[in-house]
């Protein structure tokens, strides 16, 4: 099988990142809280539903597009895989730019939909928080959902991104069972959201955080630095230590995801 062209890889990354942001953030914005009837019965999906939605976007995206681009959909993942020698450094920049642009397009589509509800409008959508990430106790729907401070949010994002990249590296290791990586990766992201939605509203992905922050501005955009720095730091930690911790000797995996260069990269 011939190596996919760079344009095909970037196209696959764009589709997957669009789906992650639209599906994951869309579940939070449109479906997490849904009140009906005079008693305001809650029919929304809540935190658990949002966590599952994010996991499903990655699971389906990996199986749909992973064989083309590697299924990163996340600049931190691309960087972590490059540090682990599973991905070429020269592709990190194009991948990251594509992921951020695609995520922003997805957030734009979602913003138009959310603003179209009768009696809502763009200002109300911004004030709702629009699934942005944050830290600290801020007025309204900004900052940490559970009022967790900067240090707690920083540690949460570093640790959980590191775990996410460890799982990706492990699931796509040459020694791992073949064909199941997408399931492990998707379920890992679900669990990450179950743990951290109350803390940071869960990022572990700079493209996801930037995409929605662009449309809200204010505190979310001012705080988005943490959700760029912390996920990248966690990914670097995982990428730099995976081989030493697990005894992996071969830098090239033959899993289904996160390795667009199977068969072409050096094996020693």
- 3-state DSSP assignment of residue 25: helix
Q: How many domains does the chain have?
A: 1
Domain contains 171: yes
Domain contains 147: yes
Residue pLDDT, tens place only, 10-45: 999 999 999 999 999 999 999 988 877 777 777 889
Domain contains 252: no
Token reading at 172: 């796509």
The whole model's pTM is what?
Answer: 0.90
The dihedrals phi and psi of 41, each to the nearest 5 degrees, come to: -65, 130
d(CA 228, CA 234): 10
* Residues of the domain holding 88: 6-246
Task: Check if the beta carbon of residue 87 is closer than 8 Å to that of residue 259.
Answer: yes
Domain contains 255: no
pLDDT for the residue 105: 98
Phi-psi region for residue 42, left (φ > 0), alpha (ψ -120 to 50) or beta? beta
When the pLDDT of each residue in the chain is averaged and rounded to a whole number, the result is 91
pLDDT for the residue 1: 63
Domain contains 256: no
Question: b/e string for 20-56 if b means 16 or more Cβ within 10 A?
Answer: bbbbbbbbbbbebeeeeeeeeeeebbebeebbbbbbb
Domain contains 11: yes
The dihedrals phi and psi of 242, each to the nearest 5 degrees, come to: -55, -50
Domain contains 258: no
pLDDT per residue as tens, the chain (268 positions): 688 999 999 999 999 999 999 999 999 999 988 877 777 777 889 999 999 999 999 999 999 999 999 999 999 999 999 999 999 999 999 999 999 999 999 999 999 999 998 888 999 999 999 999 999 999 989 999 999 999 999 999 999 999 999 999 999 999 999 999 999 999 999 999 999 999 999 999 999 999 999 999 999 999 999 999 999 999 999 999 999 999 886 554 444 454 444 433 433 3
With vertex at residue 19, the alpha carbon angle to CA 5 and CA 64, rounded to the nearest 5 degrees, is 50
Q: With the C-alpha atoms ordered 114, 116, 119, 121, is the resulting torsion angle positive or negative?
A: positive
Residue pLDDT, tens place only, 115-147: 998 888 999 999 999 999 999 999 989 999 999
Number of neighbours of residue 215 by Cβ within 10 angstroms: 21
pLDDT for the residue 10: 98
Domain contains 74: yes
CATH for 94:
1.20.1080.10
């Amino acid at each position: 099988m011939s190596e996919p062209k760079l344009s095909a890889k970037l196209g696959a990354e764009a589709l997957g990142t669009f789906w992650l942001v639209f599906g994951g953030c869309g579940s939070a914005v449109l479906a997490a809280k849904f009140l009906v009837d005079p008693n305001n019965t809650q029919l929304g999906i809540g935190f658990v539903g949002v966590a599952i939605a994010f996991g499903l976007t990655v699971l389906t995206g990996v199986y749909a597009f992973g064989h083309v681009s590697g299924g990163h959909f996340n600049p931190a993942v691309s960087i972590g895989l490059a540090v682990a020698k599973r991905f070429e450094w020269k592709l990190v920049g194009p991948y990251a730019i594509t992921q951020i642009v695609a995520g922003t397009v997805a957030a734009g589509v979602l913003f138009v939909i959310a603003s179209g509800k009768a009696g809502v409008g763009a200002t109300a959508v911004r004030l709702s928080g629009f699934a942005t990430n944050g830290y600290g106790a801020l007025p309204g729907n900004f900052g940490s959902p559970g009022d967790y401070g900067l240090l707690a949010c920083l540690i949460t994002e570093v640790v959980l991104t590191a775990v996410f990249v460890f799982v990706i590296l492990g699931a796509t290791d040459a020694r791992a069972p073949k064909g199941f990586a997408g399931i492990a990766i998707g379920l890992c992201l679900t669990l990450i959201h179950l743990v951290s939605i109350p803390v940071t509203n869960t990022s572990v992905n700079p493209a996801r955080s930037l995409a929605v922050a662009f449309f809200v501005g204010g505190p979310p955009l001012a705080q988005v630095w943490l959700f760029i720095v912390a996920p990248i730091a966690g990914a670097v930690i995982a990428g730099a230590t995976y081989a030493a911790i697990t005894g992996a000797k071969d830098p090239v995996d033959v899993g289904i995801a996160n390795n667009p260069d199977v068969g072409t990269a050096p094996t020693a």
